[in-house]
């Protein structure tokens, strides 16, 4: 151990109260940052899980001037050969009027291939009554949202009259009810592709094709490849830009606030070191008189700042991880599940890289903020410094 580091440790041990205040201030700031980062990563992951994971990553629509995709089977085969594509699902959708007894509401009637649709939207996870796959085996059946079922006052097994201008009226039996905790519960219904064609009186065509990717960040790249086939294609980042904006705004505002917290705590270390310079004026003079160069005096105080920052960062991250894990054990009451998008626990994600970045950033910031008091100490005149003892 060189003498600069030895003296830096000695100064820290000699001023226990000031050391505890500095380390405590940084530790609290780092603890808040660690907990907030774990919450932000957890909620961002949950947001992706409840939105992006339920969305088609790429939406394919008919060619310009066309209302339908005619040779959709060939198109699906070609899309399936694109690298990163994991699922493809056709759909035929439109508006319909649903009537049960004296209740009548309009909603979207979407014809799908149940097994393929589930690979895109994971709708089977949201089924609370009945079976989504029943659409595949039974004719004239429908799966509806929970809010729509509540407003129509229908139960599993009831038959609903479905009609719309220029469509063939049908009576569809309810074989499933889904609950997504979103507006879709009131505005969307599912039926088989064949039933939708009979209702809308169209041949073997679809409105569009949905695509799921192994990496949803490649949505625009894959959309461009599909457009080369002559069809319109848009990635989820184009069709749902609000999700990205929400995450970006939240992340930016949080980073600014937490950055200010760390900076304020680091300036507390600067104040402590300034007091240390004043208290150690005579000792600095003695070191200079004994031949210690200016650079050594500067290093002593910069090392003090770095050590205090590192100690505070380590204590703060340790406390932050413990608090984060404790928060993650909190169970959200079932009565409030809908308010929190069906979450049963507060989502917490503690990532090792976040902890390392926080510790490194705080350590470096404290080294930088330690430069000013270090320079003040180095500027002291040895003779005057010794005379102040």
Tens digit of each residue's pLDDT (9 = 90 or more) over 158-202 = 999 999 998 999 999 999 999 988 888 999 999 999 999 999 999
- Give 48 or 291, the one with higher predicted confidence: 48
Dihedral, CA of residue 196, residue 202, residue 204 and residue 207, to nearest 10: -70
Instruction: Write down the pLDDT at residue 223.
Output: 92
Q: Which CA distances in Å does 123 have to 115, 145, 152, 308?
A: 10, 11, 21, 53
Instruction: Write down the pLDDT at residue 271.
Output: 66
Instruction: Write down the pLDDT at residue 49.
Output: 74
d(CA 109, CA 118): 16
Residue 266 has pLDDT above 80, yes or no: no
Over residues 50-96, the pLDDT tens digits come to: 777 778 999 999 888 788 998 899 999 999 999 999 999 999 999 99
Residue whose structure tokens are 């457009």 = 227
Q: Which of 177, 206, 256, 192 is nearest to 62 (CA)?
A: 206
Which of the four pLDDT bands, split at 50, 70 and 90, describes residue 387?
low
Element (H, E) at 156: none
Q: CB–CB of 167/199 below 8 Å? A: yes
């Amino acid at each position: 151990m060189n003498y600069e580091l030895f003296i830096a440790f000695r100064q820290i041990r000699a001023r226990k109260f000031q050391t505890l205040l500095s380390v405590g201030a940084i530790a609290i700031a780092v603890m808040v940052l660690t907990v907030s980062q774990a919450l932000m990563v957890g909620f961002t992951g949950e947001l992706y899980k409840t939105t992006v994971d339920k969305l088609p990553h790429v939406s394919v629509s008919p060619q310009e001037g066309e209302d339908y995709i005619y040779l959709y089977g060939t198109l699906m085969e070609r899309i399936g050969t694109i690298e990163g594509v994991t699922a493809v699902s056709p759909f035929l959708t439109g508006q319909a009027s649903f009537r049960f007894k004296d209740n009548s509401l309009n909603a979207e009637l979407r014809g799908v291939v149940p097994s393929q649709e589930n690979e895109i939207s994971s709708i089977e996870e949201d089924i609370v009554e009945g079976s989504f796959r029943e659409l595949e085996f039974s004719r004239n059946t429908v799966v509806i949202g929970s809010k729509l079922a509540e407003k129509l006052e229908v139960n599993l097994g009831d038959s609903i009259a479905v009609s719309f201008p220029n469509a063939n009226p049908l009576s569809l039996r309810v074989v499933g009810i889904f609950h997504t905790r979103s507006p879709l519960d009131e505005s969307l219904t599912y039926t088989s592709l064949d039933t939708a064609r009979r209702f809308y009186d169209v041949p073997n065509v679809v409105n569009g094709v949905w695509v799921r990717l192994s990496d949803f960040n490649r949505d625009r790249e894959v959309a461009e490849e599909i457009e080369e086939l002559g069809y319109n294609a848009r990635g989820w980042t184009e069709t749902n830009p609000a999700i990205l904006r929400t995450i970006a705004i939240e992340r930016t505002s949080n980073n600014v606030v937490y950055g200010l917290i760390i900076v304020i705590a680091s300036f507390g270390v600067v104040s402590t070191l300034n007091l240390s310079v004043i208290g150690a004026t005579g000792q600095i003079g003695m070191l200079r008189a004994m031949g210690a160069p200016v650079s050594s005096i500067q290093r002593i105080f910069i090392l003090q700042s770095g050590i205090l920052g590192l100690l505070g960062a380590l204590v703060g991250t340790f406390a932050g991880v413990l608090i984060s894990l404790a928060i993650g054990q909190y169970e959200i009451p079932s009565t409030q599940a809908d308010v929190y998008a069906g979450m049963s626990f507060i989502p917490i994600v503690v990532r090792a890289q976040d902890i390392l970045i926080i510790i490194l950033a705080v350590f470096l910031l404290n080294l930088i903020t330690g430069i000013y008091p270090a320079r003040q100490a180095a500027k002291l005149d040895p003779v005057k410094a010794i005379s102040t003892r």
